[in-house]
Each structure stands twice: as C-alpha cells, then as structure tokens.
Chains A and B, each alone.
Chain A
Amino acid sequence: MARIDLDLAHAYRANPRSDDDYALLPLRMSFEDGGAYALLGPSGCGKTTLLNIVSGLLKPSQGTVSFDGRDVTALTPQARNIAQVFQFPVIYDTMTVEDNLAFPLRNRGVSPDKIRARVGRIAEMLELSGQLRQRAAGLSADAKQKISLGRGLVREDVSAVLFDEPLTVIDPHLKWQLRRKLKQIHHELKLTLIYVTHDQVEALTFADQIVVMTRGRAVQVGHAAALFERPQHRFVGHFIGSPGMNFLPGRVHPEGVLEVAGQSVRLPQGLAHEPLAALRDFTLGVRPEYLTLDAPGADGVLDATVTQVQDLGTYWLLTASLGEQVMKARLPAQAEPPAVGQHIGLRVLNPHTCYYGADDQLIAAATASTKETLP
C-alpha cells in the first residue's frame, strides 16, 4: 500500500507541439493510501493512459510517478507491485479457476499454504468458491471477469489495485452486485483502489474521490456532492448529472442588474453578489434539479416558453426555450407541470447557481447572504 503522487504529462507522439498532441496534459495529483478513487470521463479523455502510467505499463513522456515519495517512474509493474484489472476478462484458458487466482502469488513464490488461504478468501468474497476446480475457459463472461477481479485482489501487499472499466462486459443486475462487492472489499482489505469508468453512476457509487477528466486534463477532483453542487469546470457540470447543467450566457450591468440570455434580471434578496461585481461576461450554470417555477418578472426569474414536458416516472422533465437558449428543469412528480406553449418564469438565480468565466472555470458561486443585496 502506498500513497501515489503524479507530476507528469504524456504524449504518444514524439515532440508534441500543441495541446492536441498530448494524451495527458501536465497534471499534478495524489492518491492517498487506502482511498477509493474513480477516474471519470468520456472515451479518449486520457483516463486509461493515466491508469497505465500509474501501473507502469506505460512510461510518461515527461515527469514522474512516485509511491510513498519514492520515484518509481522507471520501474516495471511488477517492481511497483501493482495489480490491474482490464476492461475485458483476461483469464488463462488452460488453468482452473483456482490456478488462475493463484497465478500472481505463485509467480512471486508465495508458500502453498498461504496461497490456498488467500485464494479461498478471495473466491469466497467473489462467490467463486463452488467453481474453484472448474476450468476457467468454459465459464460465462461475468464469471471470467470475476476471476480477473480476483487476480487483481489476491495479493494483499499491493501498492494499489487499478480497474480499467472492469464492469463493461457484465450484465446490468450483476454490475450492481459487483460494484457493491468491490466497495465491501475496499472496506475489508483497505487497499488503494483506482477505478476508471465513463459511467458517472459507477464512479459516484464506488469512489470517495472522483477525478473528472476531459481531453487529457483532470478538471476537478472531489467527492460526489462537490461535483454536483459546485462543478469547478463547465465540463463537470455538463458531464455529471442527468441531464447535465444548464448554461446561459450572461453579462453584468451596473447597479446589480444582470443580463442573462438577453433578459435583464435583478439579483434577488438574500443572494450575495460581490464576486459578480468584478465580472463582465460570464456563463451562468444551474442544474435542472435546482430550477424552480416562479412568477414571471420576479427578481432572479427569467421568462421562458415551455416546449416539451416528459413524464419520466419519478419526475417531470421540462424543456423550455429562452430565445435561442434551451433549458431543462426537473420538477417533482407530484407537481402539476405547465402545458406546452405556456409562458413561465424560471428561477435561475438561486443559492445553487454557478458562474463560469471565458476559460470555463468556476469564478463565483452564489451563496446565501444576510447582507443587503444591492447597493
């Protein structure tokens, strides 16, 4: 077990010039010992590259990887003592389930008694005990993936266990089970786990800390609530949540008046405004969950026209247009939704609203304030 520090960048081609040449832009990151982390991002964002650099399958083109302060950049996966589980099940066809699980231990010369005990324990955790003597090649895809997971978890002294979208090939109902299992195993074994996925539900349920990545950049590290409440980057707002955050162009006028999506709107009572005063152009972000209907014309409320109302069972998904802009709002199931074509007021300025600058970074977030709102 180890604390992992990264300070590196990686490009697959030699002599990278522009940012596009990098698979991973320069980043600095730490994984605490014993933590459960998720690397979350769309395909091609560099998360697998980052994982392979941590495991040592890939050497970063610049920078260093250190475990517990020791530089391991040049070391092999074996020397780093890393375990890794891949997207598709990798099993040794000619071996039994038991031999498969024991393989990493045997290669390291662990004593047979210890191997038997350890394999027995892992097999029990993964519910493979009944199949230990079976040949691995004849099993179903999810049993095979369980074996791969087992091989990743069987060594107790590993620095970290890395998962590269390990549940892709698994049936949805088994996915839940295995994810719970992994979480449970994390509690029992206290290993450092790093989990790569493009599925936000998977990341949010599995990890304590989530690293959101896009286009070779780690844009935010935090736990689920922070990613949801205060996305540090527009991409995080857009990627996390279903549907993602609504964004509207805005501009600050003097006298505490904002222009949002072409409409002038006053900051409502009890909402801090100081950070905004320094701004001119910004992008306003508000989650569909935090949009509420209100009387048109009130402070912090924008006029909109309902274009679509969908019943999604547990909530109403309302789509409304504000000129050229489109917003989505989640209304509780018991609410009476407005009809299509109706003019409504959407409260976009509320304590959950975030403001982003031209570089897509969060510059200010509304906070409930007791001060006078307007000068």
Chain B
Amino acid sequence: MTPVNQKAWFLVLPVIICVAFSAILPLMTVVNYSVQDIISPERRVFVGVEWFASVMRDEELHGALLRQLGFSLAVLLVEIPLGIALALSMPAQGWKASAVLVMVALSLLIPWNVVGTIWQIYGRADIGLLGAGLQALGIDYSYTGNATDAWLTVLVMDVWHWTPLVALLCFAGLRSIPDAYYQAARIDGASKLAVFRFIQLPKMRGVLMIAVLLRFMDSFMIYTEPFVLTGGGPGNATTFLSQYLTQKAVGQFDLGPAAAFSLIYFLIILLLCFILYNWMQSLGQQEATEAAHG
C-alpha cells in the first residue's frame, strides 16, 4: 500500500469544530431529547420514536400546522404581487428614488416585538387609529375577540412589515434590466403588459425565487408578532407552529415531545422549501418546452 499522509486532516479540523459547535451538536442535543423521557435531571428513560408518534397524532398540532400553512400561503399570495407592483411603481432614478427607497425600507428596520406592539396599539378598538376608525365606520372589529379579525390583523401586520423586502428585491431585479430591452420593446410596439410579461417578469425570476423562499421560511417561523399582538388567541386562532412549540417546550416543559416536534418542524420547512425551489426552477424550463411544443 502506498503511504498516505494523514496530516491533511488537521487542515479541515477548524471547519469541523466550527460546524460541530454551531450546527451538529445543538441539533444532536435536540435529537437526544426527542428519543428520551426526561423525568428529572437524574432520571431519564429511552423511549425510541414514541414522542414522534404521539406528536404526529396530536390534534392540536394538526390544527396549528394547517393554520400555519394557510397563513404562509396567504402571506406569499399577498406580499409577492404587492411587492412587484410596488417595485414597478417606484421611481427609477434621482433623489426621488433614494427617498422612496428609504421610506419603503423603514418598516424593515423595526424589531419584531416592536412591530407587534405598534399593531397592538394601532388595532385597539378604544384608542387605536385602525381599531377606533373601523369602529367609527360601524364595523365591529376586535382582534382580541374575533378569530377572523385576529387572523387578518396578523396577516396585514406581516404584509406591512415584510412587503418592502419583496419590493426592494424586485426593484433591484428591475434595475438590472438593460435599457436596450425597453428600447427594443418600444421599437417592437410592445404594450405595457407585454413588457411586464416578456421582459420584466422573466428577468425578475431570480430575485422572485429568493423573495418567495425568504418570505415562506420567515412566515412559517413567525412567532414574536402574534405573540405580542394576540398571544395566539382568541382561542387558538393565531397559534402558529412556533407558538405551539414554545407552549410545549417552555410552558409545559415537555422537552421530549417538544424536541420531536422541533425536528418534524425543521423537516417540514426543509421539504416545503425543496418543493418550492424545484417548482420555481422547473417553471422556467416548462415554459420553454411548452412554448417549443405549443
């Protein structure tokens, strides 16, 4: 056998240590909890996949997952088109562009819990501008009493908070389109709609994919804002996955089920992102083959 110099392993050691401490060890701790019943720090019992089985059967979890999926879907359906529309209507150059950029980006600078607090006050029926305003219009609005109102308020809050991110990404995508494309479209007699459909939208595909993934992952993990605004209520109308997880892990200190839940949560996000990404990737190719055969 030829002698092999094993010293090269030392070169990758720093990376292995970094990754181990930042990702693998914490994850394995969770895996460790998920297969044990920890009764007290001294007493623990190995239970295998029992926690996973019980979490999967948990009706409340099913409810939270459905609410979560509905919420994330609504977020994407509202924020992506709205972000594109916003980016299209923003001025392209000059001081106006800078001013609008700063204004649009403002809400992104506000910490999550502050956003929750702002909307909590804003939506209050007695003193909040929105709540009192709606009341004055004769609409019986209350995010603490009415489940639909609460859900809608959380959605509108997220749209207010995060649409600017989508808009900024789209704006960057739009600015990267060379002028010659617009000139060629004018020469070719393309309508505004055709310019959007055949130039702007295809050229924004890359940034839109990032926007969709970011907004999906973020909205799927939403915690702080509904926690501050509604605390998951009324009932469990706005109890999304991470809220439910926190109740289990911190509130009830069921570390085993909470760990199993975390892992399932993580896998769901991974799976959905994988599906979304591949779907959007294939969209471009599909369009091409459709066009080629149609």
Contact = CB atoms under 8 A, between A and B. Distances in A.
Nearest to A132: B292
15 contacts: A57-B183, A57-B186, A77-B187, A83-B187, A84-B183, A86-B183, A90-B178, A92-B202, A94-B288, A95-B198, A103-B188, A103-B190, A103-B198, A108-B189, A135-B292
Contacts of B8: none
Interface of A: 52, 55, 57, 76-78, 82-84, 86-88, 90, 92-96, 99, 103-104, 107-108, 133-135, 137-138, 148, 151-152
B186 A95 contact: no
Contacts of B203: 93
A83 B188 CA distance: 7
B191 A90 contact: no
Nearest to B197: A94
Nearest to B285: A135
B139 to A, nearest CB: 44
Contacts of A57: 183, 186-187
Contact of B180 (A55, A77, A86, A152): A86
Nearest to A107: B189
Q: Which 3 A-B pairs have the closest CB atoms?
A: A135-B288, A107-B189, A90-B184
Contacts of B291: 94-96, 99, 135
B188 A151 contact: yes
B288 A90 contact: no
Contact of A90 (B181, B194, B287, B292): B181
A76 B188 contact: no
A102 B86 CA distance: 31
A104 B287 CA distance: 21
A340 B279 CA distance: 73
B199 interface: yes
Nearest to B184: A90
B56 to A, nearest CB: 42
A262 B241 CA distance: 94
A263 B275 CA distance: 85
Contacts of A104: 187-189
A82 B199 CA distance: 20
B202 A55 contact: no
Given A87-B180, A134-B292, A135-B288, A92 B187 contact: no
Given A93-B203, A99-B291, A107-B194, A78 B184 contact: no
A316 to B, nearest CB: 44
Contacts of B189: 78, 104, 107-108
A111 to B, nearest CB: 16
A108 B203 CA distance: 24
Looking at A77, A90, A148, which has the most chain B CB atoms within 10 Å of its CB? A90
